[in-house]
Amino acid sequence: MNMKATLSATALALTLATSAHAATIALTDASLEAPLSGTNGDPLSGWWSFNSGAVGQAITVSSGFWTIANNDGDKAMYIANDASGIDSVYQSVTLEAGITYRLTAAVAQSANVSKNDANVALAFFNQGFSVLEAQNNFVVANQSGSFVDYFVEFTPDTTGIYQVGLRNAGAIIGTGTSSSANGESTVFFDNVRLESLNAVPEPSSTALLGLGSLALILRRRK
């Protein structure tokens, strides 16, 4: 192999070994499949409610958050809400400064139950919920039926603990049919994903080998 080809191969190895890539951040029960038992149900491990000004409540059936079979025979978590307030669930994660993170969730309303359109949001908060760091708002139609992916992105300025949230921000009254119960919306969330979009790995053995080869080539030419 001539020097030009060797340099090209080395540069390619370095690029592949150190280029930016997306990486999945582990969440507890990201697929929202936790089983329930008993009258009030067991908490969904890892997910916590934030409604009526209370932080850190375990999610149970009695609070209106639980898993239920969807049309695919899978399970999804629903959050019911009327026209006022915001009912949400959150999970704590450690995020690094300067890295862009994307929170994605599949969202739907039941095709079999008539409610109202819903104001829904995915959000990042600081650890103490005093700062809304990033949020993406959207409307999920009454009886939308099919799950659709929505996402929000956030790049923290400082490394630390943050809260990722799924939010039902209230029913849009008058958008449902006359049989809508209590003016509610009932939003289903499923398959939550948290990814880092621009994390750069440390140089791999391939990159180090490439650097060594390049050094030998330059030394021979002197």
Which tens digit of pLDDT belongs to each residue from 162-209?
999 999 988 898 888 655 566 788 888 889 999 999 976 555 544 555
Residue 201: the pLDDT is: 55
Pairing of strands 48-51, 54-58: antiparallel
Per-residue pLDDT of 21-76, as tens digits, reads: 679 999 988 887 665 433 333 444 567 776 544 444 334 433 344 445 554 556 77
pLDDT at position 152 is 98
Relative orientation angle of helices 205-221 and 3-18, to the nearest 10 degrees: 150
pTM of the predicted model, to two decimals?
0.73
Q: Quote the DSSP letter at residue 182.
A: G
Pair type for strands 101-109 and 148-154: antiparallel
Tell me the average pLDDT across 152-160: 98
- Give the pLDDT of residue 79: 81
219 token code pair: 């030394």
Tell me, what's the pLDDT at 111? 74
Nearest to 194 by CA among 121, 97, 103: 103
How sure is the predictor about 144, in pLDDT bands with cuts at 50, 70 and 90?
confident
Predicted local distance difference test score (pLDDT) of residue 63: 36
Model pLDDT for residues 1-12, shown as the tens digit of each residue: 555 544 444 444
Which one has a higher pLDDT value, 51 or 140?
Answer: 140
Q: What percent of the chain has pLDDT over 70?
A: 59
pLDDT the model gives residue 68: 55
Is residue 129 left, alpha or beta, with left meaning phi > 0 and alpha meaning psi from -120 to 50?
left
What is the predicted pLDDT for the residue at 39? Answer: 34
C-beta neighbour count of 110 within 10 angstroms: 19
pLDDT of the residue at 179: 57
pLDDT digits 0-9 by tens, 78-131: 787 877 777 888 888 999 999 999 999 999 887 777 788 999 999 999 988 899
Place of tokens 């030998």: 216
Instruction: Report whether 89 contacts 63 (CB < 8 A).
Output: no
